[in-house]
Amino acid sequence: MTDETELSGDAAMQQPSRLRGHELIADYVSRLDGSPGVYRMLNAAQEVLYVGKARNLKARVSNYARTTGHSGRIARMISETTHMMFLTTRTETEALLLEQNLIKQLKPRYNVLLRDDKSFPYILIAEDHPFPMIRKHRGARNVKGAYFGPFASAAAVNRTLNHLERAFQLRNCSDAMFSSRTRACLQYQIKRCSGPCVGKIGEDEYRRTVADAQRFLEGKSSSIQQELAAEMSAASEAMEYERAAALRDRIGALTTVQQSQGINPRSVAEADVVAVHLEGGQACVQVFFIRAHQSWGNHDFYPRTGAGAEEAEVLEAFLAQFYDAKELPKTILLSHEIEDADLMVDLLSTRAGRKVELAVPKRGEKAELVENALRNARESLGRKMSESAAQAKLLQGVAQAFGLPKPPERIEVYDNSHIQGAHAVGGMIVAGPDGLMKSSYRKFNIKGEDLTPGDDFGMMKEVLTRRFERLLREDPERKTDLWPDLLLIDGGAGQVSAVHEIMVSLGVQDIAMVGVAKGIDRDLGKEEFHRIGHRPMALPRQDPVLYYIQRLRDEAHRWAIGAHRAKRAKATMANPLDEIPGIGATRKRALLAHFGSAKAVSRAGQNDLMEVPGISAATAETIWNFFNDRG
């Protein structure tokens, strides 16, 4: 339970408008008590500058009332503060949770913010089939089976799956493909699958192999290898040389998996290793995932530090925000101590529904894991700072080339893709000081039914209208960083003029736009750039800015074509049975197994449909009506 107040609604508690900074905060402190809670610092425009938590509001806020001893970042924040708001809570843990919710919602300028929308992939051994499949899984766990992860990247999962297929020969095909096979596929021929679809292996033996794969992913590789070695010796003694060779290959594949995973700690069964390195006002947090005594990869993050945060503050904010919706390990090993570690343990344990341990190891194997993560964080930040310096120089060049008042913070590039108007898709990519911002890419399925097939102007109008109408609706005052400084359009003067008219009609006329046309002979390097009110221009062939614009245009083209191909493939592969209400995967399989194709199902009578297992009279009527009432 929380209580929000400006130090109550009492008129005596309101702050005179002349107060700001240290004086304002000192005035608030005089009327605060020792309750736990959350405080917000606001500027003259009522923008939230900072959100903080406190075990004791009076003691914490009084620190800001001091006139000396603050870092440059905190001093700037205090000087801008003209107003404060407070929320009291029952416990310190509630205060921490509330603080993180407000930071996520308000994104204050001086808080540490983790810009992360990444979900991590898992390995799934599905259990909804007599012969379970093994595959990569990302997202909600809506499939019955055993999940192993998280892995740091899709590449880490694919690498592990590649080795596991060699070692255990579990199938990775879909259920539909499995049921339609009449002969073994290439996976069986190259010894990546045991061929259960065509009876090359029995259900009991396949299940034993599945159990071995699960045990391996649980970290019981040594016992599996010992058992396989014993089986190999027995097969060899019985002169079953083919089986002995297969077991030998499996043991070799398992050894390869272990070697490919690099760090495999003996004393750490399950932990995330989290290390932070700060340099030049920037931070890199490196996370290693240790599961079943195996390293399942690492990933780096670059939180916004609020220009001057210390390691403890960055780590604390990272833990609270990163584990907001991600699975928690039993132990988290940290590179630095954090303030209020006990509150963080309570918060993470509550989220996990079990005890979560935080530790800062000083010696032994755990300390070596942290040192390795810290070294990776240091090297990753060094590479990123080098790339950022080059990117900043390119953006400065873009500003000079096109007469922009300052280097753009956000460039949006648009392109369309279609085949004679069919399966039309618009694509938007985004670039900025950190390079390509792939989490901000967007696809737009062209919905306009009155568009002439192949009308690129009409498609671009729909895309831009949808994009900027949403921006105007959600952020009319442009307080977020979602508004672009520059639009790049694939096209010449006609496209730029059309886009200009669209933007004028939307009331957005202050965003620079440049059309990129192929130029003479449509030759790469002879691009012409078109702007409203300016003559076409070109850049020297060796100009890095020209190469940069070409890369952005090509990336937008790649993104739009990929979206178009995916949409076209989905339409090509669409099965009309998917559109029938009440027909799920099980009934769909039963119908296809009975009739052979969706077309045959569409021609069947209701009595014929009722012959299919699981199809009742009511369901048969629904199916018949779907196909016979469509016209």
Cβ(54)–Cβ(37) below 8 Å: yes
Q: How confident is the model at residue 157 (pLDDT cuts 50, 70, 90)?
A: confident
Q: Is the bond into 303 cis (omega within 30 degrees of 0)?
A: no
Confidence at residue 60, expressed as pLDDT on a 0 to 100 scale: 93
Confidence at residue 306, expressed as pLDDT on a 0 to 100 scale: 64
Q: How confident is the model at residue 9 (pLDDT cuts 50, 70, 90)?
A: very low
Confidence at residue 260, expressed as pLDDT on a 0 to 100 scale: 52
State yes or no: pLDDT of 68 exceeds 90: no
Confidence at residue 16, expressed as pLDDT on a 0 to 100 scale: 43
Structure tokens at 411: 């460039």
Query: How is the chain split among helix, strand and coil, in percent rounded to 5?
Result: 45, 20, 35
State yes or no: pLDDT of 161 exceeds 90: no
Sign of CA dihedral 582, 588, 590, 591: positive
Q: How much of the chain, in percent, has pLDDT values that exceed 90?
A: 34
Structure tokens at 622: 């629904």
| Domain range annotation of the chain | 21-110, 121-260, 271-383, 411-570, 576-629
pLDDT (average), residues 436-446: 88
State yes or no: pLDDT of 631 exceeds 50: no
CATH architecture of 576-629: Orthogonal Bundle (1.10)
* Span 455-505, pLDDT tens digits: 677 788 888 889 999 999 988 888 888 999 999 988 888 888 888 988 998
Confidence at residue 629, expressed as pLDDT on a 0 to 100 scale: 62
Strand stretches in 29-121, DSSP E: 37-42, 48-54, 83-89
CATH architecture of 21-110: 3-Layer(aba) Sandwich (3.40)
Q: What is the pTM of this model?
A: 0.70
* Span 22-44, pLDDT tens digits: 889 999 998 899 999 999 999 98
pLDDT (average), residues 139-147: 86
Confidence at residue 360, expressed as pLDDT on a 0 to 100 scale: 96
State yes or no: pLDDT of 57 exceeds 90: yes
411-570 shares the fold of 271-383: yes
Q: How much of the chain, in percent, has pLDDT values that exceed 70?
A: 89
CATH H-level superfamily of 411-570? UvrC, RNAse H endonuclease domain (3.30.420.340)
3-class secondary-structure state, position 209: helix
pLDDT (average), residues 271-297: 90
Q: How far is CA 385 from the centre of its chain?
A: 22
pLDDT (average), residues 60-80: 89
* Span 388-403, pLDDT tens digits: 888 889 999 999 999 9
State yes or no: pLDDT of 7 exceeds 70: no
pLDDT (average), residues 536-546: 87
Within a 10 A sphere around the Cβ of 524, how many other Cβ atoms?
12
Q: How confident is the model at residue 345 (pLDDT cuts 50, 70, 90)?
A: very high
Residue bearing tokens 């009742």? 616
Q: What is d(CA 225, CA 541) in angstroms, rounded to the nearest whole number?
A: 60
Confidence at residue 475, expressed as pLDDT on a 0 to 100 scale: 87
Q: How confident is the model at residue 221 (pLDDT cuts 50, 70, 90)?
A: low
pLDDT (average), residues 74-85: 92
Confidence at residue 277, expressed as pLDDT on a 0 to 100 scale: 94
309 residue type, one letter: A
Mean pLDDT for all residues in the chain: 84
Q: Does domain 271-383 have CATH number 2.60.40?
A: no
Greater confidence (58 vs 231) lies with: 58
**Degrees to nearest 5, angle at CA 89 with 83 and 95:** 80
Confidence at residue 448, expressed as pLDDT on a 0 to 100 scale: 67
**What's the start-to-end Cα distance of the chain, in Å?**
58
Confidence at residue 608, expressed as pLDDT on a 0 to 100 scale: 86
pLDDT (average), residues 74-97: 92
State yes or no: pLDDT of 17 exceeds 70: no
Q: What is d(CA 549, CA 387) in angstroms, rounded to the nearest whole number?
A: 17
Confidence at residue 520, expressed as pLDDT on a 0 to 100 scale: 62
